[in-house]
Amino acid sequence: MTKIDGATLIARSLKSQGVDLMFGVVGFPVVPIAVAAQKEGIRYFGFRNEQAASYAAGVAGYLTGRPAACLTVSGPGMIHAIAGLSNAWSNCWPMILLGGANDSYQNGQGAFQEAPQIEAARPFVKYAARPDSLARIPDYIEQAVRTSLYGRPGATYLDLPNDIITDKIEEEDFNLPPYCPAPPATLADPREVKKAIEVLRSAKQPLVIVGKGAAYSQAEDQVREFINTTQLPFLPTPMGKGVIPDSHKLSVASARSDALGGADVVFLIGARLNWILHFGLPPRFKEDVKFIHLDIAADEIGTNVPCEVPLVGDASSVMDQLNTALKEDSFTFDKDSEWLATLSEKARDNEKAVEAMCDDEQVPMGYYRVLREIRDQMPPDHLLVSEGANTMDISRSVLMHDEPRQRIDAGSFGTMGVGTGFAIAAAAVSPEKKVVCVQGDSAFGFSGMEIEVACRYQLPITFVIVNNNGIGGGFDSLDRNQPNPAQYTIAARYERMIEAFGGKGYFATTPEEMTTALKEAIRDPNPNIVNIMIDPKAQRKPQKFEWLTR
Ligand code: ADP
Ligand code: MG
């Protein structure tokens, strides 16, 4: 008879449920879990702070459709990882947080790093529990995996006391439950499917909005077929980019304001009418616009504005339903319509204005020139991570993606500082791809130390720091007596940081220096930093509405 410890049982259970990635920081009492995870064939990435590790686990779940684990020590470590739990909650991404905890027989005694961890996790998770015996660990893990995936995806939490991790159990005294399959297909009411087609057919100014729920559902084939059949104009949300190629001729992304403001029918595919879409309200949308809303979560339907046609179900399955229904009763939107003509004219005008800014060679550079260079140098098979307010917003209109899930950004929670952890996760998920992580200098600073992780694991990431000397920029000198709250060190040489860990750093202030540096950096399979100084006063092209309109 052989005995195994709780740590091994935890690792084996995770592996048997298809959890292949773990991001964390070890210490009491979780060292044995990380070691066991590696033995069981889970790839473990040791971070420098739980915050970035927890962001990494969330985005890995988004990219793969299977939750990744984040492993933390008790107390402070677990608390730091609430950053990632809340980010996964806000974005509807699956992940499992494994929080180490004090021995259960010391509960309430003021144990080392004792904290109300389950209670702390609760508002951000779909499931929070503490295994009550070793034999039941596999059940708890199966339940945490299943709950994170089924229905609207989200985070789950398991609290793991030291005694559960270190106690031993006979091999024949536990059972591993079967592998939890991908979520069962959920279909929309066929009457609503018919109605959706009728409403779209009779629309004069229809618009399809493709969100990150469609990307998560891996509905790209179905959504592409739908657009190609109906010839309806579409625009992606920031992370819906690439579900249909950005280069598709029916994309009206460059005429976003006019498309949203003029549409009489909007078909939302896995996107919420939250702040990113201005709550579905005027003046961004027409007063009487009709919404057709496809979402896996019934309770999302009708949020902020009434819904004309609810399509509750998984995006790829429901889009299949629509495509099947269209085979019997097809329609094609009029390619000569005034709506399309107006939108494409507006799109062309906006693209011209953006291109002019992209071609501006003046020094110091603006955001557009920097992002154009990245666009020109990035291989088609890239993964892009983008954050930092202006850097991220402008990158939506300059950087183009023809494949789904190629762009990861600050997301629904608008979280700054996610980029470095996201980039590490992206490289872990797709080791064959080049990861380009474009961050403002302030965004980079949140988790700058995590570049050591990228170097240690030799991940092919180029960190591009768009440096304007602070939060939102505006400063070219530092008042040392009383620095402005929004400013950081002027012309900080962030690229030198990576040299401490064996990576290469580049510094650029002119278009020529930038071009040379990016060419080399993006081809280099090792991690590197390209620190690019821009005009601290550089701005975004004037917008019809600010991003956040109330
Ligand atoms: P965006 O920022 O792109 O608008 P959101 O995160 O606001 O995206 O919305 C994504 C929506 O997608 C969420 O309401 C979520 O419930 C939904 N969703 C998640 N998975 C699926 C799926 N498989 N099918 C359909 N909708 C999904
Ligand atoms: Mg900045």
Rounded mean pLDDT of 166-171?
Answer: 97
Q: How far is the CA of 480 from the centre of ligand 2 (A)?
A: 18
Residues 82-130 have pLDDT tens digits of 999 999 999 999 999 999 999 999 999 999 999 999 999 999 999 999 9
DSSP 450: G
Ligand 1, closest atom to CA 317? 24
Return the residue whose CA atom lies nearest to atom 5 of ligand 1: 271
Q: Alpha-carbon distance 450 to 50, whole Å?
A: 10
Ligand that comes closest to the CA of residue 475: 2
Cis omega before residue 233 (within 30°)?
no
pTM for the whole thing? 0.97
Q: How far is the CA of 295 from the centre of ligand 1 (A)?
A: 6
Q: What is the DSSP string of 96-151?
A: EEEEEE--GGGTTS--TT---HHHHHGGGEEEEE--SSGGGHHHHHHHHHHHHHSS
Ligand 1, closest atom to CA 316? 24
Q: How far is the CA of 461 from the centre of ligand 1 (A)?
A: 28
Ligand 1, closest atom to CA 236? 3
Please work out whether the CB of residue 274 comes within 6 Å of at least one atom of ligand 1. yes
Return the residue whose CA atom lies nearest to atom 22 of ligand 1: 314
Q: Alpha-carbon distance 185 to 313, whole Å?
A: 8
**Residue the block writes with tokens 């020529």:** 512
Q: What are the percentages of helix, strand and coil residues in the chain, rounded to 5?
A: 45, 20, 40
Q: How far is the CA of 359 from the centre of ligand 2 (A)?
A: 22
Give the contacts of 541 (CB within 8 A, at least 6 positions apart): 353, 354, 357, 368, 394
Q: Alpha-carbon distance 512 to 432, whole Å?
A: 29
Q: Alpha-carbon distance 273 to 279, whole Å?
A: 5
Residue 550 has a pLDDT of: 41
Ligand 1, closest atom to CA 411? 2
- Mutation pick for ligand 1 pocket among 91, 208, 209, 217 (CB with most ligand atoms within 8 Å): 217
Confidence of residue 542 (pLDDT cuts 50, 70, 90): confident
Which has the closest alpha carbon to 464: 375, 343, 331, 400?
375
Q: Is it the case that residue 547 has pLDDT exceeding 70?
A: no
Please work out whether the CB of residue 126 comes within 6 Å of at least one atom of ligand 1. no
Q: Alpha-carbon distance 192 to 36, whole Å?
A: 49
Please work out whether the CB of residue 252 comes within 6 Å of at least one atom of ligand 1. no
- Mutation pick for ligand 1 pocket among 86, 87, 92 (CB with most ligand atoms within 8 Å): 92
Q: Alpha-carbon distance 303 to 231, whole Å?
A: 28
Six token digits for residue 160: 């793991």
**Residue the block writes with tokens 């109330």:** 550
Please work out whether the CB of residue 213 comes within 6 Å of at least one atom of ligand 1. yes
Ligand 1, closest atom to CA 237? 3
Residues 194-216 have pLDDT tens digits of 999 999 999 999 999 999 999 99
Ligand that comes closest to the CA of residue 273: 1
Q: Is it the case that residue 549 has pLDDT exceeding 50?
A: no
Q: How far is the CA of 272 from the centre of ligand 1 (A)?
A: 7
Which domains, and CATH codes, for the chain? 3-173 (3.40.50.970), 190-344 (3.40.50.1220), 359-533 (3.40.50.970)
Percent residues over pLDDT 70 in the chain: 99
Q: How far is the CA of 515 from the centre of ligand 2 (A)?
A: 21
Ligand 1, closest atom to CA 152? 16
Kindly report which listed range (143-152, 298-307, 466-475, 502-511) carries the lowest average pLDDT score: 466-475
Residues 235-246 have pLDDT tens digits of 999 999 999 999
Please work out whether the CB of residue 152 comes within 6 Å of at least one atom of ligand 1. yes
